[in-house]
Amino acid sequence: MELGVLHEDEPIELIAGELIVAEPKGSPHETAVGLTEEALRDAFGPHWVVRVGAPVALDNESEPEPDLAVVPGRWRDYREAHPSRPALVVEVAESSLTFDRNVKGSLYARAGVPDYWIVNLVDRALEVHRAPIRDAAAPFGWRYSSVRVLEPDAGEFPLARPAACVAVADLLP
């Protein structure tokens, strides 16, 4: 960006040292992002920041821009650097479902993200990925050992806020 080759508003992410072009986001995707943002702000409350489409500095070669990331603290805590240890990362997936499950899931597991959710628009469900473990067959050598799929009538408790239940229906357009 400093050289003028890329612009700040271009839909790209840095993943494992490669620039990946993000897919266009339609209305159902953006609606789900907005709904999820509202639900997470309510669930986490003060002293937590819900970042939308903002970079997370996982390591020296990966700075993905998840649809949502919940990090401890306040906005000014991150004025010098992007957060590196999100409590929860959420991707909203339609056409990117396989990529979000496999590639991004492995990336977040490798970084030790404890709680990774996919708002699955294809199946109208919430996928909850937890407990990162090493797995040589995974794209980045890690994966989540616990994966649960929740229907719209269910609710989930974020690991970082175990008393706060997030209704799956509240995340879906």
pLDDT of 30-78, one tens digit each? Answer: 999 999 999 999 999 999 999 999 999 999 888 999 999 999 999 999 9
Q: Which helix (H) or strand (E) holds 110?
A: helix 105-110
In this predicted structure, the answer to whether residue 137 has a pLDDT above a threshold of 90 is yes
Q: What's the pLDDT band for 26 if we cut at 50, 70, 90? A: confident
Q: Which domains does the chain have, with CATH numbers?
A: 12-171 (3.90.1570.10)
DSSP state of 67: S
Percentage of the chain surpassing pLDDT 70?
86
Short-list 62, 129, 124, CA closest to 100: 129
Short-list 79, 69, 84, 68, CA closest to 32: 68
